[in-house]
Structure 1
Amino acid sequence: MRIFAFSCVLLLATVAAAQEKTERPTQAQIVATYDKKEYQECLKQLAQVLPLTGKAAEGYDRFALLNIKGECLLQTKQKDPAGYAFAEAAKATKNDKDAATALATSLLIKRSEINGYKPKTGDNHDLVPIVDPAARPAALSALWNDERSVAADRVKDATRGKSLPGIANAAKSLSGLDVLELAATSTTAKTEAMAKSLADHAGTVIDSALDADDKSIAAIEKSAKEYIEIVVDDIDPRTKKKIQRKERVQKGLSDQDKRKLEEIVDTSIKISSAVQDLQRLFGKAGAGLKTHDDHAGSVKKKAREVLTYRYDTDGKKSK
Structure 2
Amino acid sequence: MASVVGTCVLLLAIVPVSAASFVKVDCTSENLGQYGQDSVLRCGIKTTEEASDAMITYVKWKKTGNTKTLVVFGKDHPNEPRFRFSVESLTGTSRDVSLLVSNTQINDGGEYECTVKTDSSSKDIIKTNLSVTAKYSAPVIIAEKDTSLICNSEDGYPKGTIQWFDQEGKNHTSISQQEPKPMDDKRFNLTSKLTLKNSASSQYTCQVYNANGVKEGETTFNLSSKSYEGVHKMVQDGKVAVSNIVAPVVVIGSLIVGLLIVLLWRKRQSNGGHTPIDQDEEKANWQGGEAAAGGKKCEHSEETNTLEEERCQAMIPLSAAPTI
TM-score range relative to shorter protein: under 0.3
Q: Larger C-alpha radius of gyration, 1 or 2? A: 2
More strand by percentage: 2
Q: Report the TM-score, using the length of structure 1 for normalisation.
A: 0.27
Greater length-normalized contact order (CA 8 Å, ≥ 6 residues apart): 2
Name the one with the larger helix percent. Answer: 1
TM-score when scaled to structure 2?
0.27
